Structure 1
């Protein structure tokens, strides 16, 4: 029997915790207030889904992108242009909502492929700055071309009837978040994902072995753009409008900050960072005596900056790094269970040394 098909192999601590978290998210609307579910958690899922694309590119491709919020906005703008009827800003194509969804995702895919193909020629700081330029150009494109948006953006955007009640939008966020989390991790185990990690570590050597380095980076950027487009659709349905200011450099940097707070090398950290950001933004003003120490809503960015600084000092890997340290400490204090074959086969570490010290 394949050991991977063994049910005991699936009962790891991470899988059990993940299943428990999904179960909590599914029953949360029956346990929490409508405001917490429809505002705090829905926004957390939307921003976490977008931040996960930054984590994907950074973890597997070694590319830190600031263009994800632009692609997030492209999907929202294209849906608004396609779905809105006469009388509102934009193209007013008046298409059915699901046709508009397909159109928005196709345009986002095309934009991600073109931008990724250009950015794949650069690495490191140059890649970061080029994607920042993308974000700036995108802002001015939608702000200045009134036929597709203009400074006022597109308003009164209706979500599809299937997602009419706000709680359904929350469940859609849960579903897409779970699929994105599992999908990104699965991609890392495929031939494409392994090759992409090789490109991340040594692009010159991968190119000499016959791999198309630029194509791998372009396809990774395109996949991340598609997921960012999905989160952009959820956002425009949640907000009911979109304008160029919502995809300016400020929100672009906020998305990167969310990924850093949670841990830019951890997929789970994307949603954890989003939750911390949304919670602080929503409930900071309600903390007792908070006004007496000079912290107001106008100084929210300062508070977020201090939080990021503290987290980076405590753990460069973000909140997920802190969680891992706590788990290791708890595990070190827990007595180890004897293995089923303590006197039999050698340990993993011993086998590794026998194989020449290869990392597993």
Structure 2
């Protein structure tokens, strides 16, 4: 009996490994060894920032792609988690920060973020379409102004600085190498969990709610509960990204949760594509490259460097114009064109040759 059980486990492991596309294994190896070939700036600023924004955009992708709910409050959730780490943990603002140990602060910050996301979701799921976007945008704006005007709890416009990751196992987790692998770990874990949840009963039910909420309600599913639970799950992802973002910049301020960053997360998710989790990280990587090097390109062309947002906006418009599904949609069109016979216009697979 033990031999049969062990054989079954081996078969399942092999099936799982065979299910992963070869391109994913190649990408994984590249991401693991890339620190040996790039500078600290690329590891910490480019790749680390891409992972972090990708995790936050992944929370929006889960809501929009699988739940059909577009939320502009994801950066507010991320910022809220960052503020909780600064308030309950250590920072340079000792008059407010409590200095609690990290193993209490981080779970507490994520727990409170989930509560806030559930409250926002409970309000937002009672609307649809543009109204959902507007109510989440209003909540994001309200949180931004509240943090900027509140000095007793959020320290107003200055926010908190010197918010650093804990020193574990004698490792400086804000160092380029350690921080790179820390962000990559949470990015890969978030990606895998979203894929798993999307194929689990809850994820399948959520997609059913997205496609036809009335039919799902007639089948006995609680549509509102599924949508609110999706907000809670997305809140965890955004909270993890917010904590990493706070550690990367070693500070959290109202500018982190402003209207601009909230819209940037939507731009990232749309550029990559909302139909698959990998799109969030593709969009984040493209956004970070534009955000980092657009100024240099404009200056080299003799233009005003302050107009780098124009380059980002034009890139967004071009991608969406040619493919509403983002980069993933462009990739699908490319693959379809490769399969299509240029003479007959039919799929090569349909040809007897």
The answer to whether the superposition gives a TM-score over 0.5 is: yes
Deviations 1:3-55 (A, max 9, x none): x838477435x621112111111111101111111111000000011001111
- C-alpha distance in 2 between matches for 1:68 and 1:53: 7
Gaps (5+ residues) in structure 2?
Answer: 1-6, 342-346
Change in CA separation of 1:9 and 1:109 when aligned onto 2, cut-off 3 Å: closer
Matched, 1:280 2:290: yes
- C-alpha distance in 1 between matches for 2:117 and 2:287: 26
- C-alpha distance in 2 between matches for 1:158 and 1:34: 18
> SS of the counterpart of 1:88?
coil
Matched residue, 1:324: 332
Gaps (5+ residues) in structure 1?
Answer: 337-360
Change in CA separation of 1:146 and 1:90 when aligned onto 2, cut-off 3 Å: farther
Matched, 1:265 2:275: yes
Deviation of the 1:205 alpha carbon: 1.7
171, 184, 194: which one pairs with 1:184? 194
Matched residue, 1:11: 18
114, 118, 129: which one pairs with 2:119? 114
How many residues were matched structurally?
Answer: 333
Matched residue, 1:232: 242
203, 208, 217: which one pairs with 1:198? 208
* Match runs of 1:1-360 below 5 Å: 5=12, 7=14, 10-11=17-18, 15-84=21-90, 88=93, 91-149=96-154, 150-162=156-168, 163-287=173-297, 290-292=300-302, 294=303, 296-332=304-340
CA root-mean-square deviation: 2.4
- C-alpha distance in 2 between matches for 1:104 and 1:37: 26
Change in CA separation of 1:235 and 1:288 when aligned onto 2, cut-off 3 Å: closer
Deviation of the 1:89 alpha carbon: 6.0
Deviations 1:195-243 (A, max 9, x none): 1111111112211221111110000000001110000010011000010
Once the two structures are overlaid, the 10-residue window that deviates more, 43-52 or 155-164, is: 155-164
